[in-house]
Amino acid sequence: MCRLIMNISRFYNILLGHKDNIVIAQKRLRQAFKCWACKNRLTTSSDRRSPALPSLPIASTSRVCRRKRAPHIALLCAIISSANLQAIGIDYKIKAAYIYQFTKFTEWPEQLFIDKNTPIRICVLGKSPFGNLLDIFSSKTSQNRNLSIEYLPSLENILSCHVVFISRSEEKRLTQILHKIAHSPVLTVSDMDDFVYRGGIIGFVPRQKKVGIEINISASHSAGAKLSSKLLEIATLVKQEQGAEPP
């Protein structure tokens, strides 16, 4: 049991820290599930014939969630049960964890918060690639504030967001979106190609089987959302004004 919890802890740390290769994260998660399955006699035929992640189908993992309530188990169960791991992919779990971390390392103008109970709003514009992954963070806090996860059908309420992930489905109107929130303290995030060169603030980019980030510091300063030096240290920094051609 202790070994299982250690494996789960290591995987969760990787998910939030992203310093290890995601292949290692997959391996550790698979090992944790196999260990847990053996101890609970939940091994299935699919475990023996398929090495795909996860080792157990979602239906079986939900049985595990009902049987044990240890904090590490509950957290992992929430991640696994929230969406099909094979359908979404490990990279979007890492991106979801990154977005949560962004809320810790961004300073917004105090006037954006009516009072101490005002939550930090994480929004998704367009077709969400995260499934329900981001919803897990609605039970967490950041900077002593609750987190609110919102899915926007239009641009109408985008200025009330503190962080907005702009889906690839919105690429054709990206210029319109960025113009709408120009000079507003909204932290824009996306995994579109050349996102930061087109005026976005934080872009997810592939980095040798890892998820890397690029930050447009010009766009960040213009928006008024101050990013921590700790976040800048792990990113590729770009100075690019909106509308300028990428190099």
C-alpha torsion sign, points 60, 209, 17, 6: positive
Burial label for 154, CB within 10 Å (0-12, 13-18, 19+), is exposed
Topology of domain 92-238, CATH: Rossmann fold (3.40.50)
Taking residues 37-53, report their average pLDDT: 40
- Give percent of the chain with pLDDT exceeding 70: 61
- CA nearest to 53, candidates 82, 32, 67: 32
- In Å, what is the CA distance from 240 to each residue of 10, 153, 215, 230, 234? 37, 29, 10, 21, 19
Span 137-156, pLDDT tens digits: 999 999 999 999 999 999 99
Q: What is the mean pLDDT of residues 187-199?
A: 97
Closest CA to 207 of 69, 19, 47: 19
Pinpoint the residues of the chain covered by CATH 3.40.50: 92-238
pTM here is 0.66
Cα 53 to its chain centre, rounded Å, is 19
Q: Which H helix or E strand runs over 205?
A: strand 202-207
Q: How confident is the model at residue 209 (pLDDT cuts 50, 70, 90)?
A: confident
Q: Could you tell me what percentage of the chain is helix, strand and coil, using 3-state DSSP and rounding each to the nearest 5?
A: 50, 20, 35
Rounded average pLDDT over 77-93: 59
Mean local confidence (pLDDT), 73-94: 59
Give the Cβ contact number of residue 138 at 10 Å. Answer: 13
| Residue 47: pLDDT band with limits 50, 70, 90 | very low
**Which has the higher per-residue pLDDT, 166 or 41?**
166
Res. 198: pLDDT tops 90: yes
